């Protein structure tokens, strides 16, 4: 049985490969890709084939759903996601299985067993329709509970300027220049915030629309953001997200 792993985090990619090798001697990992673009290219290459695809939801250049729009996916698909609120009903509606990160070996065995027994192809139309419906009805965070020394502070989302990762911590910065540590990962946070108001400009930073004062074009197609409050680091939009970012600004 051939497997393709679609995952943009190298450690997660290697961890899944180890689990598959350890628990499934009949499985051969025939490819690993880390982006929408590279996955489409792999699937379009004559001679490449996979019986099962393990597919991360959010990749370095966009969401994995774009793959279904631009390539024929004949394999069984198992989505891997760090947040259990992310369109799980949509996965089921499109005949797609899913695993929550970090991946549990028992859950992995169940998912692979279901793929072996299941018949038919992915219902792409049902998948995309369910994803759209999920996003339209989704309720987003209105506040976070943050801690400062011995105080517990309810913080309105409307007061967030940006959130960023630094030295293994995630920091929330408010419009009045207060900074707090958040326990949740940026993957989870980015799904909890309204995408009309917040944009994840890179794997390490989420910014509020109202915090952007100006944008500077840089070499190589990257964009540098000048926010309020000001930052001690260079806040840039990843090349792969520039087009989506500019579209978001115009909405």
Question: What does DSSP assign to residue 211?
Answer: G
- pLDDT per residue over 214-228, tens digit each? 999 988 788 999 999
pTM, rounded to two decimals: 0.59
Question: Could you read off the pLDDT of 193-212 as tens digits, one per residue?
Answer: 998 999 999 989 999 999 99
Q: Is residue 5 over pLDDT 90?
A: yes
Domains within the chain, CATH numbers bracketed: 2-137 (3.40.50.2300), 143-250 (2.40.50.1020)
pLDDT in tens, 179-198: 999 988 888 898 889 989 99
Higher per-residue pLDDT: 58 or 31:
31
pLDDT on residue 188: 84
- The residue that leads in pLDDT, 169 or 85, is 169
**CB neighbourhood size of 113 (10 A):** 10
The pLDDT score that the predictor gives to residue 178 is: 93
**Burial of 231 (C-beta count, 10 Å sphere; 0-12/13-18/19+):** middle
Two tokens, residue 240: 């792969």
- Please report the DSSP string for 108-157 in residue order: HHHHHHHHHH--S---HHHHHHHHHHHHHHPPPP-EEEEEETTEEEEEEG
Q: What is the mean pLDDT of the chain?
A: 86
Residue with the bigger pLDDT between 204 and 87: it is 204
Per-residue confidence (pLDDT) for residue 135, from 0 to 100: 59
CA 171 to each of CA 162, 166, 174, 186: distance values in angstroms, whole numbers, following the listed order: 8, 8, 10, 10
Phi, psi of 119 (to 5 degrees): -120, 170
Give pLDDT tens digits for 112-134.
998 888 765 666 676 666 666 65
Residue 89 has φ and ψ, to the nearest 5°, of -65, -35
């Amino acid at each position: 049985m051939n497997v393709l792993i679609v995952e943009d985090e190298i450690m997660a990619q290697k961890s899944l490969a180890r689990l598959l090798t350890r628990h499934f001697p009949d499985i051969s990992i025939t490819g690993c890709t880390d982006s929408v673009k590279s996955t489409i290219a792999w699937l379009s290459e004559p001679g490449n084939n996979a019986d099962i695809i393990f597919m991360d939801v959010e990749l370095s250049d966009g969401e994995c759903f774009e793959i279904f729009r631009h390539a024929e996916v004949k394999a069984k698909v198992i989505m891997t996601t760090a947040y259990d609120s992310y369109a799980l009903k949509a996965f089921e509606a499109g005949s797609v299985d899913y695993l929550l990160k970090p991946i549990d070996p028992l859950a992995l065995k169940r998912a692979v067993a279901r793929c072996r027994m299941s018949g038919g192809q992915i219902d792409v139309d049902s998948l995309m329709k369910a994803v759209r419906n999920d996003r339209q009805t989704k309720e987003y965070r209105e506040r976070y509970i943050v801690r400062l020394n011995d105080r517990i502070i309810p913080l309105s989302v409307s007061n967030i300027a940006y959130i960023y990762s630094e030295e293994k911590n995630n920091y929330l910065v408010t419009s009045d220049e207060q900074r707090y540590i958040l326990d949740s990962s940026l993957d989870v946070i980015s799904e909890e915030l309204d995408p009309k108001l917040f944009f994840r400009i890179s794997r390490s930073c989420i910014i509020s629309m109202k915090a952007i004062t100006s944008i500077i074009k840089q070499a190589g197609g990257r964009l540098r953001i000048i926010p309020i409050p000001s930052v001690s680091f260079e806040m840039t939009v990843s090349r792969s997200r520039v087009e989506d970012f500019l579209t978001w600004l115009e909405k």
